[in-house]
Structure 1
Amino acid sequence: MTASTGSGRDSAVGECLAMFPGQGSQRPGMARHLLDTYPSARLLFARADEIVGRPLSRICVSGTAEELAHTEITQPAIATTSLAVWEVLREAGYRPAAAAGHSLGEYPALVAAGVLSFESALRLVRLRGVLMGEVAREVPGAMAAVLGLPADRVRTACEGAEAAGIVQVANYNEPLQTVISGHAHAVALAAEIAMEAGAERVVPLDVSAPFHCSLMSAVEEEFAEALADEPFADPVLPVISSVTGSHVHSGEEARELLRRQLTGPVRWVDVLNTAEQRLVSAYTEIGPGRVLGGLTRRTLGDVLTRSTGDARRLTAFHRSLTPVDWREPIAS
């Protein structure tokens, strides 16, 4: 369950981290309440349909789980849904102290921070999904979450499975949850070693590609060329990178970090620790799902988290915000 306060007003305008979720947070119907209720969300999805060249507005309302599972659809669908929620909250006066995104979520976080335009972010996310889908079709890869074992011992398990192929840490999600990625047989062997080392369990992830490991280097050059073609501005809102776990200081740094993100691990524990050092006191998940709220509480303890992933939670948070006259759309 997500923690809450009586009015929610402190978390709306105080020292709050806006957190944007990554792949895995998708679900059928995840944008139905947005398109039914908020005109700005309908406009945003209409623009996304044109940019991506797919009917995301239909897919995010009535698409099946199987349809949403294709990474070339999943990624723009989650990013657009998250940015639609962001726009709804922004219009209502939501002003976080900083933004961060988990893997894919870094793209909407950079839009929120003024680094990328909505159009640039969607073009990049669309290509990112296509390229990752190509790797998935060519490489027998897998990912798995190792639970109940410290990250250093998970790294040791990966090293012990290197003879079977590539297997590396992909996500430092929380102190006792670390995701590994690589060749399917090497991931399976590392999982066995981790269980023997004391892991509580290993959960195979239902993903279509071995994200955040060196197997993604096959598409890094093509994606770097696309990054070079898009304009990046310096952040106007502090943004914490999931690649480094620290602040992004310039648009050029953001461009390089998105390139590195393809093959590097997601350092979400470091993101949360950096936010806590900024004296952030509340954490709002902007987009579908409630994954990041759970990771936040299990990393930082009893902190205030808010979800916006369904109609009830978004409506409650939206009503807690101070209305302001700010109607301009996301900058193009």
Structure 2
Amino acid sequence: MMAAISTRRLACAGRCFVLSLLMCMCTLANAHSGHSDNDDATVRAVLDPLPASLEGVRVQLRRTLAPQLLISNETQQPLTVFDDDGRAFLRIGSGDVEADLGAAAFHRSNTLMAPGAFAADASQAPNWQIVEPAPHWGWFDLRLRSNDVAVPNDIQQRGKRAQVGQWRVPVQLGDERTAITGRFEFVPEPQGIPEARVTATGPLASSTLVRAMNGSARSGVFVSYRGEQALLVYGAYDEPMLRFGDGGVDVNRHSQTWQQIAPAGAPDYIAGEGADWATVSNQPNYGWVDPRIGFIDEVAATDESVVLKRWSIPIQLGEQRATIDGITEWKPVTPLAKAE
């Protein structure tokens, strides 16, 4: 019988993870202080669209100090994740997450520092334990690391985004074997970045903090609402998407925009008409990725700030319809000099 890991053990694991993360930050800072011919910071893992057989499973790829896969499985079947030798080391679903503590792949991908502490051939007898009481999990899968991905000289000299490799994580949902796949892309040093900015908030000006969230092509909006009337935010298809009130923030699970942007662990999209509200925050504050304000197209080389797009997000405050308006600009950046 599979036993659950104790709360004390989970807390200890959490403290160890934080310590490892801090140690890794120092290690990475030292490792990247020098120059290399193929700086792996210019090669990124990118997630492919999921196969139809994984319908109901939500997968995100996040880049922090290393690529991290985040999975939420609300289906009735467990999602099993395999290492390159075909040994299962994670089962996500059926209300919890189980890990094979005897599998080296689990330990080597559980924290950033783990690959240096656990050898690839250090696996022992299977030892399945519950490690999370909900069907959500994230891990730093080594197959997404770009350190050993070579970038041909002609691609570097061309200075354009290009595919330079592929990655694959074998999985099984129920009885069907498939894979989560992606590619490695060479990304040249940016000559600038798109930056979104809120320019007008209409009737929200006196009661609400509205800010654009930047940092990637998938820009977003953060709203902190302190008004007395209900605030509705409409999606890209003019459908009710978010509802702010004193008790927190709700999302319309029938929103087509929510289907595109829902983060792992959030209420799932459900096809349907009208509104089906579910809570996403117990406070009247929420931030979300919004496809209306991001910019993913190429920008012609320019040394000056230019407006890439103007955007509006429809809202309704009580009975009053209005918009949150803004612009997304191109901001040139000066490349940092590399140490020789």
Higher-helix-fraction structure? 1
- Whichever of the two has the greater Rg, that structure is 2
TM-score of the aligned structures, taking structure 1 as reference length? 0.24
TM-score of the aligned structures, taking structure 2 as reference length? 0.23
Q: Which has the higher contact order (CA 8 A, sep 6+)?
A: 1
Higher-strand-fraction structure? 2
